[in-house]
Amino acid sequence: MNSSTHFQVAYVVSQDLIKYSSRLPSNPGRSILVHSLANAFGLLSHEHFSLRRLQVIKPKPATINDLGAYHAQNYLDALLRTPDGTDSEDSSDFGLEDNCPRFPGLSEYICLVAGATITAANALRSGYADIAINWDGGRHHAQKSRASGFCYVADCVLAILLLKRTQPAPALSLSSDTTLANVTPSHRKPRVMYLDLDVHFSDGVSQAFYSAARSSSRQVLTVSIHHAAPGFFPSSPLGQLPFDPSTSFDPFTLSLPLLAGASNSTFAAIWPLIERIKDIFKPDYVVVQCGVDGLAGDPKCKVFNWSLDVAAEGSLGWCVSRIVDDWKGIRKLFLGGGGYHAPNAARAWAYLTSIILGNPLDVSISIPDDPSHSAFPLYAPSFTLDVPAGNMLDMNSTEYLAEARKRFERASEMLQEILQAQQSQA
């Protein structure tokens, strides 16, 4: 990767990444659909008209040392020593069963997915790009020593650990729509904000950076917007609203649980809370996990009623457009995540790619039907790009959202107090 060449968007993909990601038992074939649809729409072509310039880059597979920046060595030994997917006596000790079984090509998958997210993070860190994308990443449930929730490797955590390292900011050649006024000042370490939009709580990432008992400088802030209900995965005290009496509260590890039926209007109502936290924290980087299992019609989750169209306030497309267009001076890493209706995941991430490029596709556009896109029949019955909302009732009442707002305002005050104290001590 030549840091002297500057692209605004780095899109990380390779044939090997697609091949092994498509073997993931929870999402068989999904990666193929995602990248083939983005390609069919011409989004990955240099000839595609867009506001921002895109470059496809191949991931460098993660090494044992790369993975060991977070994961325990005994876990990596168990994870990588059986590349043929055969079982092992200690599988249960490391969560390699049930929803995280071994599968053929597991070791290649681990190294490629982690490597792709690390490659994307390095593209930002080196100044090669202002925005980076790895739709095969976003494995936010993986633990330090255990696989969990279809996630085998903590690529989000690995990226955050890399981005928070101190490094002189490179000189960048920027277009008029992108300014890096927030390039890390020399007097402080980089700050990284992690924002998780998946319907499931980001337990793996939040736990990794939970800092209630730490007195050191806080460089990482995690925010998870998700569904929470008895029996809904994962069960974690960190996944509750701030100031829940049963939890120890840390304003750098924030959670915004939503009730069933969360819709565009709910996300529009809570978005100012996220913006407020971002403005106080002043991150140099933001890592956005764009799980799409909260979109209407997801066959596995079935709890949110979110839609895609950027023109609809509060939609997934609208939220991503706000991050891309309005969060000035912050380098951005977009990752995938959950999403168990593979054609809808492909629709969503192709569409988000077009938003990131600054020229959103029309959601009513037809799915390309040509010899190079053999997956066309899978997009029945609409054969269009849109993932519209359904008829699910939104249970997030005005009263519930008012309570969430009240608690986040208190969290904002605590966050500001801590950061001001840090600054005065610097």
Q: Which residues are catalytic?
A: 141
Distance CA 39, CA 27 (A): 20
CB 302 within 8 A of CB 337: no
244-248: Cβ within 8 A, 24+ apart: 248/212
- At a CB cut-off of 8 Å and minimum separation 6, what does 88 contact? 78, 81, 82, 96, 102
Q: Calculate the alpha carbon distances from 68 to 75, 153, 167, 356 in Å.
A: 10, 11, 21, 32
Strands 220-227 and 129-134: unpaired
Based on DSSP, count helices (H) and strands (E) in the chain, helices before strands: 11, 8
Distance CA 46, CA 28 (A): 29
Q: Calculate the alpha carbon distances from 297 to 7, 227, 390 in Å.
A: 35, 15, 7
CB 337 within 8 A of CB 140: yes
Distance CA 314, CA 349 (A): 17
Both tokens of 160, joined, read 């955050």
Q: What strands, in cross-sheet order, belong to the sheet with 7-12?
A: 54-57, 7-12, 129-134, 331-335, 285-289, 192-196, 220-227, 253-258
| Number of C-beta neighbours around residue 29 at 10 A | 15
Q: Name the nearest CA neighbour of 97 among 74, 69, 72, 78.
A: 78
